[in-house]
Every structure is written in structure tokens, then in C-alpha cells.
């Protein structure tokens, strides 16, 4: 596995609509493995292929599958998903605000309104169709990554954007 370089704005690949993946070969498997390693090294909870300079509809996500595991912060309960050609097919009417950041826009965070729950259809890394129903932060992560495949970054949707305080600045303030 190889760490890939994460591209940042204003790289044009981040603003392009990504192409559908049509070939499920060894090259795709290597890309998926590299993206997972890159995401973990960053560290992040999701990564889209355009973020490593490849305009393909592929995302990887690693997060807790359910709220109980997240609350317990049990690292063994994290799950990894690789979704190819993901499509959000249903979204809850209920929306929630949350703070997001992005590996392709370092040192910036913002408040973004997202659907509380979504249903996604996609292909897994072996080309088999799959469907997911997710809610909460996991739904937010999937929506954020799917946006990347459409050339959208979180700052396009944010109601407010700011530079987060460093731990040192927080200590100085207290």
C-alpha cells in the first residue's frame, strides 16, 4: 500500500464531477487500499478519489457503525466502507447542523446543514450492488464524501466558516 498525496483547493479535480467506475480490477483494489491507508494517516474519517487527484466515483469511509460503539469510543467497532458509484437515493426531511472540516481544505471548519438520515446505493469493491441506511454523523460523512464526487466542497454549503483555535490558543484564553 502507498500513501497518496491529498490535493487541496484550488486543484481543479476537486471541482469536477467524477466519472463512474466501470472496471473492477486489481488497479481499483490497489487504489481503494491506498485511499484507506491515506485516510487513516491524514487522519480522517472519509476520503473521495478526487481528493487524491483521481476523478472517479469512489469513496472510502471509516467510522462507527452505530451510536453505542461511537459513544464507547471503541476503536475495534469502527467499520470501513469502500463505495463505488455511490448514489444517495433517499434522504430524511429532518436536517441537522454540524461542524465539518476537510482534508482538502486544511485548517478551516464550517457549519453545514445535512440530512439526518440517508439511504445510499453503490457497488462494493468487488462490484456487487449494496444498499446502506445510515444516520447521524455517519450520514454526514457519506454526504460530505459524495459531494466531493460532484465537485462540491463543504465551504460551498457552509453557513459559517472559520479557522479553528489551536489547543495552545484555547489554553491561553482560559
Q: Which residues are catalytic?
A: 145
Quick one: which of 146, 150, 41 has its CA closest to 84? 146
Partners of 39 in the beta sheet? none
Cα–Cα distance measured from residue 75 to residue 64, given in angstroms and rounded to the nearest whole number? 8
Q: Name the DSSP letter for residue 137.
A: H
Amino acid at each position: 500500500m502507498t500513501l497518496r498525496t491529498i490535493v487541496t483547493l484550488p486543484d481543479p479535480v476537486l471541482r469536477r464531477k467524477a466519472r463512474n467506475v466501470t472496471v473492477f480490477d486489481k488497479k481499483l483494489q490497489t487504489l481503494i487500499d491506498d485511499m484507506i491507508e491515506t485516510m487513516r494517516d491524514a487522519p480522517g474519517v472519509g476520503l473521495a478519489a478526487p481528493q487524491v487527484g483521481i476523478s472517479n466515483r469512489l469513496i472510502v469511509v471509516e467510522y462507527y457503525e452505530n451510536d453505542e460503539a461511537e459513544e464507547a469510543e471503541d476503536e475495534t467497532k469502527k467499520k470501513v466502507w469502500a463505495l463505488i458509484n455511490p448514489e444517495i437515493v433517499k434522504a430524511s426531511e429532518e436536517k441537522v447542523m454540524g461542524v465539518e472540516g476537510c482534508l482538502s481544505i486544511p485548517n478551516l471548519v464550517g457549519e453545514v446543514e445535512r440530512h439526518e438520515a440517508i439511504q445510499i446505493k453503490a457497488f462494493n469493491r468487488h462490484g456487487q450492488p449494496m444498499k446502506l441506511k445510515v444516520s447521524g454523523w455517519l450520514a454526514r460523512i457519506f454526504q460530505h464524501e459524495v459531494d466531493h464526487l460532484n465537485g462540491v466542497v463543504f465551504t460551498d454549503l457552509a453557513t459559517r466558516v472559520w479557522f479553528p483555535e489551536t489547543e495552545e490558543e484555547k489554553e491561553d484564553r482560559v
